[in-house]
Amino acid sequence: MNELDNNMRLTSQRQVIIEELKKVKSHPTANEVYDMVRKRLPRIGLGTVYRNLDLLSEKGIINKLEVGGEQKRFDGDTSEHYHIRCVKCNRVEDIFIERYKELEKDAASCCDYTILNHHVQFSGICSKCLPDA
Amino acid sequence: MNELDNNMRLTSQRQVIIEELKKVKSHPTANEVYDMVRKRLPRIGLGTVYRNLDLLSEKGIINKLEVGGEQKRFDGDTSEHYHIRCVKCNRVEDIFIERYKELEKDAASCCDYTILNHHVQFSGICSKCLPDA
DNA sequence: CTCAGTGCAAACGATTTGCAGGGCC
DNA sequence: GGCCCTGCAAATCGTTTGCACTGAG
């Protein structure tokens, strides 16, 4: 739907953000990406990080997670998959199970929306937090 | 888990917030609740609304929705059900389909979390927005 | 009377934006 | 040389909090 903008430049900031994001599995917040990137580009601004994270997720190069909590999180893995969040430490991890496509069919039959997508968000307690739960 | 606090008083502010929230099906944001309530209690403060929405959702009297988007939303219907959000107008509506309990079983088998809950969030375009899509 | 709850305003944290300069094409 | 993009700082938006006062129990 969004025609690719050929005028988009591949700046070093952009490149490093993508590289760092693809490198980890931790679903970092914008601030965490900022910290990661700053190690390689000490003069980068937080605003630039936000601008690029938004831009790259619009282009589908990365994913912006609409997972609950205070901050948005970003995922270098753009394959469709579910997520789980630890209610204690707020860690977010991937859940690679088969997508339930029936969900969208069921939902379509009970509302008058054109359904575009669905996401499943699990909450639980991770193994590191379980002892002190 | 949270022993009911017998010291909790039933103030008029609290009563009106609950009443207004149970009255609608629109999943209002804190600010929208504020507007609704202010018609009956013009001197109420926004802080009071936030404090009570948090308190009431901790008590399980209302529900705080961790639905994506910028603002949190509140639901007077505390029964477990899924939601859909219109990507155009941001309206949030209920999806009353059977919960997929298998989802949690599947997820449990592929990660070492103690799973507490799951929520399914659909996105789509509502019938009102479809014409201009 | 007492203390949980309130109104108000200031504080806060995440994100966005305006602007002037910088550097890719 | 044009214009996209950046760094920086100020602005904005949602939400939280400190404080002195109020009113429910």
**pLDDT tens-digit profile of B30-49?**
999 999 999 999 999 999 99
**Could you tell me the two tokens for B122?**
């659909």
pLDDT digits (tens, 9 = 90+) for A81-119: 999 999 888 899 999 999 999 999 999 999 999 999 999
Residues A71 and A87 occupy one common structural domain: no
Per CB-CB distance under 8 Å, the chain A contacts of B103 are 97, 100, 120, 122
How many domains is chain A partitioned into structurally? 2
Q: Which domain holds residue B33?
A: 1-76
For residue B18, how many other CB atoms are within 10 A of its CB? 16
- Find the CB nearest B114 among A66, A82, A124: A124
**A110 touches B: beta carbon within 8 Å:** yes
- B44, B59, B76: which is the final residue of a domain? B76
pLDDT, one tens digit per residue, over A13-36 is: 999 999 999 999 999 999 999 999
Q: What pLDDT, in 10s, does the model give residues B60-90?
A: 999 999 887 789 999 999 999 999 999 888 8
Give the domain-ending residue among A76, A102, A122. Answer: A76
Indicate if B106 and B118 belong to the same structural domain.
yes
Give pTM, 2 decimals.
0.90
> Token digits for B36?
């609704």
| Claim to verify: residue A98 and residue A132 sit in the same structural domain | yes
**Farthest-apart Cα atoms in chain B, separation:** 52
Find and list the nucleotides of strand C having atoms within 7 Å of a protein beta carbon: 3-10, 13-18, 24-25
| A residues 47-76 closer than 8 Å to B (CB) | 66-69
From the list A66, A106, A121, the residue facing B97 with the nearest CB is: A106
CB-CB contact of B97 with B42 (8 Å):
no
Q: Which of B36, B55, B76 is the last residue of a domain?
A: B76
What CATH number is given to the structural domain containing A118? 3.30.1490.190
**Greater confidence, A39 or A70?**
A39
Fill in the DSSP letter of residue B44.
-
- The region, left, alpha or beta by phi > 0 then psi within -120 to 50, assigned to residue A60 is left
